[in-house]
Amino acid sequence: MSKKVWALLAVGLLWAGGVDAAGDKPSKKPKVNYTQTAETPALFMEHCSACHGMDRLGGLGPALLPSNLKRLRQKSAHKVIKSGREATQMQGFGEILNDKQIEGLVSFIYKPLAEMPTWNMDQIKESRIIHTEMSELPDKPQHKSDPLNLFTVVEAGDHHVTILDGDKFEPIWRFQSRFALHGGAKYSPDGRFMYLGSRDGWISKYDMHSLQIVSEIRAGINMRNIAVSGDGRYIMAANYLPHSLVLLDAKDMKPLKWFDAVSKDGKSSRVSAVYTAPPRESFIVALKDIPEIWEIQYSDDPRPEARGFIHNWTPGLEEGDIDFGPFPLGRIRLKDFLDDFFFDQSYEHVVGASRDGKSGQVVDLDIRRKVADIDLAGMPHLGSGITFKYKDNPVLATPHLKGGTVSVIDMKSWKTVKQIETKGPGFFMRSHDNTPYAWVDVFFGPDKDALHVIDKRTLEIVKTIRPEPGKTGAHVEFDRYGKYALVSVWDMDGALVVYDAATFEEIKRIPMKKPVGKYNVYNKITYEAGTSH
């Protein structure tokens, strides 16, 4: 049987109906009731499976299952398939497919799977692969590059990763990665080990001294991202499928604990992301389908003066808000969903925004409640936000995925200081303590090849750079000293372009296959204010 015929049969099995991703019975019928045709499975295979998976379990794009689509009406899904989705890589198919074909696809993705695949702790344990024993690794770097000024560059074009010398800007290692890496490179606190997570649930550990892979494990079916604890002992994986968090021992990659992503009243949720909060010795969790923030503590020395949630028993705390035991979990209940997070440098406050793009809210993690609303209309990309001092006050700056704006927010009053107009929606913003400038891309629209340089002292755009006309320029990252800014040309025949961060002059251009992200070791392990955490 050919691969193509087998693929069509597999999709046909999904058509039969059954359980959804949460293992629940199908939800109530939506008001709009589209119908499928005989060609629908083949259309899905041709136009959708490359990004969303042959089995609809996700890949480059999210899983397309009833439990994942509860917040998207069928009518809206029809519009997304036809016209694309703003501020995402989802293209529109209105010029290729007619309305009847699109209606069939909508009906198809809202049908529960005939049988939902499982991925439990036993399966996770069995998936673990040891490539190199830890005892066999060298004590010192086997290369001459500065270990703290290395960059991990993810080349999505051919699913490779390049380790780049941040002083000479020369590749020292290039290797094939797992499919569809997501969430950026994470490092151990000393920068010795690098961890990469893929959309299909694989976590890979690499030794940056000897430039070799150490071990791998599959923590989920459709994974959003991973986080490494501030002490380097643990890795936490956040999953869309199953709805779970998985805690791993960072040394040997063995799974330690499974957390069901379920609210107090039993509602199951995808996990949007997990972050580490080093001063709190905890992980902070964003949930997609329930209005809660979770904090999971990993400290095994619960000192009275520690700032973790377990030592801040606040008035109003209800029974069930904290699950005690090893790695205790605390829930902060909110009124609104939060899909994206930003932390202040102290990790006392979480600034959250929902995908509806209407507003933002500030949550105090110590007193466990919302303390402010902020004006963040336009779907801010808070995961790409930065902080810096403006007129001696700490401010947050973030691009918006809708419109052409960078918002600057005072982090004491939580009021808007300024909205900087740009040439279009931006996705990534970066800076460094050692530069007076912040760089932001445009990313979407006719000016997707442009990047703006903003003076942090005046909040004015002082330079607009176009690394390669007509091609998307994005994701700036600085070297450890803030002397150079690296920009990606997001194209199969793309490049990594190195600029002098003071003069904005191009220094070097390194050909690469769609370099979607780059992550400097020093900036990441020191939680530099100008980069993502």
Helix (H, G, I), strand (E, B) or coil at 66: helix
The torsion region of residue 497 among left (phi > 0), alpha (psi -120 to 50) and beta comes to beta
Query: What is the tens place of the pLDDT at every residue in 159-186?
Result: 899 999 999 999 999 999 988 898 799 9
Task: Kindly state the average pLDDT of the residues 97-118.
Answer: 87
Closest CA to 395 of 434, 342, 443, 355: 342
Q: In whole angstroms, give the CA distance from residue 59 to residue 159.
A: 13
Residue 250 predicted with pLDDT over 80 = yes
> Which residues are within 8 A (CB) of 52 and not within 5 positions of it... i.e. 6 or more apart?
58, 59, 60, 61, 62, 63, 64
The DSSP secondary-structure symbol of 135 reads G
**Higher pLDDT, residue 82 or 420:** 420
Instruction: Report the number of secondary-structure helices (H) and strands (E) in the chain.
Output: 7, 34
Full-model pTM: 0.84
Q: Looking up tokens 């779907």, which residue turns up?
A: 379
> Topology of 3-109 in CATH?
Cytochrome Bc1 Complex; Chain D, domain 2 (1.10.760)
Task: Kindly state the average pLDDT of the residues 459-473.
Answer: 97
Query: In 10 A of CB 30, how many CB atoms?
Result: 17
Task: Kindly state the average pLDDT of the residues 43-59.
Answer: 84
Domain(s) of CATH 2.130.10.10: residues in the chain = 384-533
Residue 130 predicted with pLDDT over 70 = yes
Spatial strand order in the sheet of 349-353: 340-343, 349-353, 360-364, 369-374
| Amino acid identity, position 415 | K
Angle at 359 between CA 357 and CA 363, to 5 degrees: 125
Q: Looking up tokens 């290797």, which residue turns up?
A: 175
Task: Kindly state the average pLDDT of the residues 405-428.
Answer: 94
The pLDDT > 70 percentage for the chain reads: 86
Residue 66 predicted with pLDDT over 60 = yes
The pLDDT, as a whole number, for residue 308 is 52
What's the chain's Rg over C-alpha atoms? 23
Query: What is the tens place of the pLDDT at every residue in 262-300?
Result: 998 899 999 999 999 999 999 999 999 999 999 999 988
Helix (H, G, I), strand (E, B) or coil at 6: helix
Spatial strand order in the sheet of 405-410: 386-390, 393-399, 405-410, 416-421
**Higher pLDDT, residue 359 or 291:** 291
The pLDDT, as a whole number, for residue 384 is 80
The DSSP secondary-structure symbol of 198 reads B
Question: 41: pLDDT confidence band, cut at 50, 70 and 90?
Answer: confident
The pLDDT, as a whole number, for residue 236 is 98
Task: Kindly state the average pLDDT of the residues 411-426.
Answer: 94
Closest CA to 380 of 346, 410, 341: 341
Q: Looking up tokens 């694989």, which residue turns up?
A: 202
| Pairing of β 150-155 and β 129-130 | unpaired
Q: Residue-wise over 373-399: b if at least 16 C-beta within 10 A, else e?
A: ebebbbbbbbbbbbbbebeeebbbbbb
Question: 56: pLDDT confidence band, cut at 50, 70 and 90?
Answer: confident
**Higher pLDDT, residue 16 or 515:** 515
Q: Is it true that domain 384-533 has CATH number 2.130.10.10? A: yes
Domain(s) of CATH 1.10.760.10: residues in the chain = 3-109
